Amino acid sequence: MAYPQQVSEAAPVSPAARAGRAARPRLSLILSLLLAGPVQAEQVADPGAGEPGLSQECRVPGAQLYAAAQLGAVKAALAENRPLKLLAIGGSAAPGASASYPAKLEAALERALPKVDVVIDHRGLPGEVASGAAERLRTMVVEAEPDLVIWQVGTHDAIARVDAEAFEGALTEAVAWIRSHGIDVVLVDPIYTASMAADVDYNRIVEAVRTVATQQQVPLVRRYEALHYLSSRSDRGEGHMLGRQFRLNDLGLRCMAEHVALTIVTSLARTEAPPEPKPDPAAPPLTGPQGAPG
């Protein structure tokens, strides 16, 4: 896999990435560290009781929470011992700026991946994937140069009543484009809420996100299923002044970071180690002394 080099050819390389590439060492140590944590988590996983590692209120069985897939670019970034750059798209912050989704995600990932510096760029992407938002996404990806895009997708298209096939086509194209540039993608499907449960169009959009994730072989956070599970379980407990659906929504926002982090970590555990990086004949100077910071 030579994609970090491909990226560096196309776009300016950030100093941090360059620094990471210049020091490309201790592969085995990092890999062993990496593999140890998540695999362990998987072994104890009990589908009935919900994934451990999740806080009590967010606990959902793994099967209803995620579909794992390979994350080659993330693995490569970790192997190169450089900060992991994530671009998180969509998902508003939960109440209280300090406990917002990106901050929680960063914390959850840094807990799960010790010694890894996680840097998150969080952007809103209003508009429909099927008309325009996919183009803006490209701009964001070029600007952020991430290793991984975590894309909460489908809500706007569902609200705009975009045809599910048009949505699926546009999403497929966008995901394929990101991956063609050696960047990993994790998709997060729309929320579950009672008033939409019977809505055929809405379910088709959720279904489309799932289809694209399967076809493009990218991990999927099944937020719809997870929230559905939590809604059936959480009848008790304190009410919400705006009603039950709003309480569930709050819970979904609180849990999203944990759910995304678990999906990433599980997917990483299933990702084969990148081959020993060999020098790229096209651009050896980039990774050499010139690439060093300073």
Q: Which residues of the shown chain bind other proteins in the complex (CB under 8 A)?
A: 7, 10-12, 90, 92-97, 100, 121-124, 126-128, 130-131, 135-136, 138-143, 155-156, 158-163, 177, 181, 190-191, 193-196, 201, 242-243, 245-246, 248-249, 253
Which value, in Å, is the radius of gyration of the alpha carbons in the chain? 19
Nearer to other proteins, 178 or 264 (CB): 178
Residue 84 beta carbon to other proteins: minimum distance, rounded to whole angstroms: 17
Nearer to other proteins, 52 or 124 (CB): 124
Beta carbons within 8 Å of 116's beta carbon, 6+ residues apart: 78, 83, 84, 109, 110
Is residue 274 within 8 Å of residue 75, measured between CB atoms? yes
274: number of Cβ within 10 Å: 20
Burial class (CB in 10 A: 0-12, 13-18, 19+), 44: exposed
Residue 146 beta carbon to other proteins: minimum distance, rounded to whole angstroms: 12
Nearer to other proteins, 53 or 190 (CB): 190
Residue 161 beta carbon to other proteins: minimum distance, rounded to whole angstroms: 4
Sheet holding 118-123, edge to edge: 66-67, 220-221, 184-188, 148-152, 84-89, 118-123
Residue 236 beta carbon to other proteins: minimum distance, rounded to whole angstroms: 20
CA atoms within 13 A on the CB side of 291: 21
Beta carbons within 8 Å of 251's beta carbon, 6+ residues apart: 57, 58, 227, 230, 234
> Whole-angstrom Cα distance, residue 55 to residue 258?
8
Residue 127 beta carbon to other proteins: minimum distance, rounded to whole angstroms: 6
- Token duo for residue 219: 């991990």
Residue 220 beta carbon to other proteins: minimum distance, rounded to whole angstroms: 19
Nearer to other proteins, 42 or 121 (CB): 121
Nearer to other proteins, 26 or 138 (CB): 138
Q: Tell me which residue has tokens 């980039």.
A: 286
> Whole-angstrom Cα distance, residue 60 to residue 95?
22
Nearer to other proteins, 218 or 265 (CB): 218
Residue 3 beta carbon to other proteins: minimum distance, rounded to whole angstroms: 12
* Helices (H), ranges, 11-152: 15-22, 27-44, 62-65, 72-79, 101-112, 133-144
Nearer to other proteins, 112 or 178 (CB): 178
Nearer to other proteins, 96 or 289 (CB): 96
Residue 153 beta carbon to other proteins: minimum distance, rounded to whole angstroms: 12
